[in-house]
Structure 1
Amino acid sequence: MADDLSHRALAMLRAVAEGRAVLSRSCEPDLFIDGVPCCDQMTAHALAHGGYVAAGPDGRTAELTDAGRAVLSVTLVA
C-alpha cells in the first residue's frame, strides 16, 4: 500500500494529519497546504480519489481516512 505512494504523496498525507490542509469539495478536489495551493494537484486528486483523504465535517478541512492513517502508520513503523 505505502509502496505505491511517492515521498511527495506521503508528505502531503503528513500535512493533512498535522491539520495544515484544506480540501475543496469538487469532482476534482484541490488540496491547499498552509493556505497555498499544492504544487502537485494530480497527486492530490489521486489521494482523494484513492480514499486516503477526504473533506472533514466542516466541508473544508482535509482529514485522513482510515486508509490514509494506515499508510502513515506503516511508513512510521518501517
Structure 2
Amino acid sequence: MTPEVAYTRRAQAMLRAVVAGRAQVSCSCEPDLFIDGVSCGDQFTAHALAHAGLITASRLAAIGQRVPAALTPAGLAALADRAA
C-alpha cells in the first residue's frame, strides 16, 4: 500500500464507496472504477488502489465487463486504520 494513494481523502472516499456497494470495476489489467454508475474522475487513483491490492473485482468476468467492486483484506485494513 502506498501512503500517497491509500491515505488521501479521495482514495478513502473511493474505498468507502466500495464498502457501501456503490462501486463497480471493469475487468482488465487497468481496472476502471465506476461509482453510482458514473466513471470515477480520478482513474489514476483507482488504478493505484487496484494495483496496491486494496480493491478488486468481486467475481471473474469477461475483459471489459463491469462487476461490483470489493475491498480486499488490505483495503479493509487501510480503511480501518484511517478511521481509528
| Cα drift, residue 74 of structure 1 | 1.0
* Secondary structure, aligned partner of 1:8: helix
The percentage of aligned residue pairs carrying the same residue is: 56
Where in structure 2 are there 5+ consecutive unaligned residues?
62-66
Q: Structure 1 runs of 4+ off > 4 angstroms? A: none
Are 1:69 and 2:71 matched, yes or no?
no
Using the TM superposition, give the Cα deviation of residue 57 of structure 1 relative to its aligned residue in structure 2, in angstroms. 2.1
Partners in 1 of 2:2 and 2:22 — Cα distance?
21
Letter in 2 for 1:66: P
Task: Please report the TM-score for the alignment, with normalisation by the length of structure 2.
Answer: 0.84
Q: In structure 2, what is the Cα distance between the partners aligned to 1:39 and 1:2?
A: 20
Is the Cα–Cα contact under 8 Å of residues 2 and 52 in structure 2 kept in the other structure?
no
Trace 1:5-44 onto structure 2 (pairs within 5 A): 5-44=7-46
